[in-house]
Amino acid sequence: MQPSAWRPSPFLALVFLALVFLALGLLALGSLALGLLALGSPAGRSSQWTVAVVVPAAPAASFLYRSEHQHPVDHTCTDRYSQGVPRPLNTEKRAELLDQVVRYLQQHGLAQMSLSPLAEAIGTTKRMLLYYFDSRENLLAQALAANRPDARRMFGDVHDAAGLRRAALGLWEAITVGEQAGPIRMLLQLLSLATTEPEQYGDLAADTVEVMVGPIADACVRLGDAPQQARARATLLVSGLRGLCQDRLVTHDVARTDAAARRLIDCVAVPG
């Protein structure tokens, strides 16, 4: 009768594996400690050291599997819905999109403006427009703000009646033959829409009026007007020139509207 071969018990096998993993862990900790000590020494700070850390085979394989099967992170993407750390807005791209939006609105108008057809027409996506401008309302406000006369700059240095007259003539020229001649149509459309759809366009239209009236009223206060009188004077100038501009766009009568604008400006510029 032959003796049976010796077989280790399961308990001894588990103990053996535990000792192996313990030894590997101690070796890894020892290597890491030596590396840290070397880096902390003067010699280690002045030279480059390579620290080799031994990890058990099974956990390392698991780590590699997870890394290979995770989706890559696109750190260059500026889309808020993508992975990665958000990058600052591309201001040049934003300005380019805003210019294209203004051109589109000048041609197609503001009524029933929808982001999807707008995005398709200018070669982008609705999602990209929302990324740069947050909402349809904010996009419309930005388009109007980027293309209206800067009344604060034009009337900021007015300190006498002659200066008020020069600034007012400059405003009239800007909205009729200058760079604002195209965008003024957007403003007129907005004011018209605000009368029929006040819930959607009322606040934006009121703000657009105020950014023109306010700086001119401030100039009139510097000329000696009381605040209420100054706002009435500024309103007469802004609303009068806007109405004459609309008349000119409809009738194309340049001579008549120019003469009327000069007459209005002379009346407003007179002190008192």
Contact in structure between 129 and 115 (CB atoms under 8 Å): yes
Q: Encode the chain (272 residues) as per-residue pLDDT tens digits.
A: 555 555 556 666 666 667 766 777 777 676 666 665 555 554 444 444 444 444 444 443 333 333 333 434 343 444 444 444 455 677 888 888 988 988 888 888 887 788 888 999 999 999 999 998 888 888 888 888 877 788 999 999 999 999 999 999 999 998 888 666 667 888 888 888 889 889 888 988 899 899 999 999 999 999 999 999 999 999 999 999 999 999 999 999 999 999 999 999 999 998 76
Residue 141 has what pLDDT? 84
The predicted pLDDT at position 272 comes to: 60
Angle, alpha carbons 264-266-267 (nearest 5°): 65
CA distance 9 to 192: 92
Tokens of 161: 């009646």
Q: Which two tokens stand for residue 157?
A: 């240095």
* Rg (alpha carbons) of the chain, rounded to whole number: 36
- What pLDDT was estimated at residue 220? 96
Burial status of residue 178 (CB atoms within 10 A of its CB: 0-12, 13-18, 19 or more): middle
pTM for the full model?
A: 0.61
First and final C-alpha spacing in the chain: 133
How is the chain split into domains, by residue range?
91-145, 151-269
CATH fold group of domain 91-145 = Arc Repressor Mutant, subunit A (1.10.10)
